[in-house]
Amino acid sequence: MVEAAVRDFGAMPSALVTGGSSGIGLAIARALTEDGYDLTISARKADRLEAAAEELGATAVAADVSSEEDCARLVAAHADAHGGLDVLVNSAGVGIAGTIGDTTTKKFDLQLSVNLRGAFLVTREALPLLRASRGYVINLASIAGTIPTPGLSSYGAAKAALIALTRSLDREETANGVRATALCPGFVDTPMAEWTGLGADEMIQPEDCAEMVRALLRLSPAARVPVVVVERAGEVV
């Protein structure tokens, strides 16, 4: 894990967003940049990542969160660039539709590796920095982790586990001043949701998720919100 560094007085707060080159992660990264955070974004695909980093004026670190070595390298790179960490957003994710009977072991393992294990690894590496800043962890989960969702069984299982991990983290780190929230939206207008056939106007917008993050970060340190569920209008839950 990265040792906490001592930042200069008056240094800008900083944030690290995994999956920050597109979709929900990019919308959150834009909001954090607008709100004055120094930013690091990560993603697997370097070309898209570099374009997003140039737009945001952010540090770009290509990383695969399913790799323990990449997770450690990512957090270390953020610490080297910004000296500390105030907000961690674990937004990197993969969703593969399929019933239990039709899901291969490889697809099941991939979703757990990225959606759950990756968030765990990055958070574990970042905890010394977050404890030093009394920071905030926001994990992008899903409404599929809160209700039965046929066709998204393995994805929902990974997100349910992420919600449990987030709730435990929030309790474990109370004395250190670190807070954690699992943000659980319904279908969001991103490429990952194209398979649904829903129109863009029928889905939650990535910017809605960004606004939820902004609201959470404005709460007083005494306020803890372990889980936020954002339903899509007309969604049957």
Q: How many CB atoms lie within 10 A of CB 143?
A: 22
Active site residues: 155
Q: Which of 17, 49, 45, 12 is nearest to 31 (CA)?
A: 17
211-215 long-range Cβ contacts below 8 angstroms, 24+ apart: 211/31, 212/183, 213/28, 213/31, 213/32, 213/89, 213/138, 213/183, 214/31, 214/35
CB-based contact 28:76 (threshold 8 Å): no
* Beta-strand relationship, 179-185 and 87-90: unpaired
